[in-house]
Chain A
Amino acid sequence: MKTNGILRVVTRFLIPLIMLFALYIQFHGEYSPGGGFQAGVIFAAAWILFALVFGLDEALAVVPAGAQKVLASIGVMLYATIGVLGVVLGGQFLEFTPLIPGSPQGAQQAGIVLVELGVGITVAAVVMLIYTLFADRLRVVADLTREEID
């Protein structure tokens, strides 16, 4: 697919829009349908589209496999840290109210935004990671079959 000019041009045009839409879904999720889960999936879809058209190596140069693993853990840890922070500041696990004393609504909103960010990072990273693993495995299998033919 690397040589198809129409695909390359359309993809270059579409990927920023998809990523922008993912960010909108992520950070507007408190006001309209959306949230971290959907945003992460859409963001990963933009990267997978890039990998499909320009090849896995180019895509891994943008987000290396190691970074995907680290990001997947960072998202979960961000979520859990917010939960523990509630305990440290004198509340219960995942209670957001103690995060900002004196402003329960603001604390709730801050907690929700951070927690959704954690969800988004983990989901995007894990979807990218699963795609990378399958596509990489596919390449290894193709190499093995080629060696056998030789």
Chain B
Amino acid sequence: MLRMRDLFAAVMLFAIYSLVSASLFAVLDAGDVALTEAAVGAGISTILMLVALSLAPRHEDRGRGRNLTALVVVLVTGATLVYATWDLPPFGAAENPIHQHVAPYYLEESYKDIGIPNVVASVLASYRSIDTLGEVYVIFTAGIGVMMLLGATRRRRRQPADEPIEGEETE
């Protein structure tokens, strides 16, 4: 099963993949990430994709022929990325930059600085607060984007549609 043309099955596979990732994060003791992955990846994303799918045909369009340019682009990008991995520091080594930069400070001093036990919350909301503000802007922008794409339907309701769209009733 190399290709999945049934979009409903693809959405379900995404949900299962997210749930397995969430379990993996839970096994790795990353509670915050596991909770986010389970709630956002497996939960809300699946619902929103299903709602979007109810406006679209269930099966993917069959493409015409083969796209050689795309294959070349993918291969070149992949080869570059594999080549770049040779410069990465060894996996899990203690002297890697990620363990030497600000992480030790956060782990050792965050309780003294802030007084709450969850270091992830301190990093996200206090030390790296501007990043989180940016994330909230991203969510807000996503909402505005969907609103601009789908929100103007009421005004055109009385006009006949240019082409018949297949819609399914959920209720």
Contacts and interface: CB of A to CB of B under 8 A. Distances in A.
Do A and B form a real pair? yes
Interface in B31-74: 31-32, 34-36, 39-40, 43-44, 47-48, 51-52, 54-55
Given A130-B48, A135-B51, A144-B165, A93 B118 contact: no
A135 B169 CA distance: 10
B153 A140 contact: yes
Contacts of B54: 134, 138
Contacts of A148: 160-161, 164
B52 A133 contact: no
A79 interface: yes
Interface in B119-171: 120-122, 124-126, 129-130, 132-133, 135-137, 139-140, 142-143, 146-147, 150-151, 153-154, 157, 160-161, 164-171
Contacts of A129: 143, 146-147
Given A108-B126, A138-B167, A133 B117 contact: no
Given A30-B121, A130-B142, A38 B115 contact: no
Q: Is the interface of A mostly helix, strand, loop or mixed?
A: helix
Given A38-B36, A45-B44, A142-B169, A130 B161 contact: no
A70 to B, nearest CB: 12
Nearest to A121: B136
A108 B48 contact: no
Interface string B5-47: 0000000000000000000000000011011100110011001
Contacts of A55: 171
A112 B133 contact: no
Nearest to B164: A148
A25 B147 contact: no
B23 to A, nearest CB: 14
Contacts of B126: 96, 108, 111-112
Nearest to A65: B151
Given A129-B143, A138-B55, A1 B118 contact: no
A137 interface: yes
A85 B45 CA distance: 34
Interface string A69-111: 1001101100110010000000001101000000011101101
Nearest to B53: A134
Top 7 closest pairs, chain A to chain B, by CB: A33-B31, A141-B167, A126-B143, A105-B115, A30-B116, A134-B51, A112-B125
Interface of B: 31-32, 34-36, 39-40, 43-44, 47-48, 51-52, 54-55, 113-118, 120-122, 124-126, 129-130, 132-133, 135-137, 139-140, 142-143, 146-147, 150-151, 153-154, 157, 160-161, 164-171
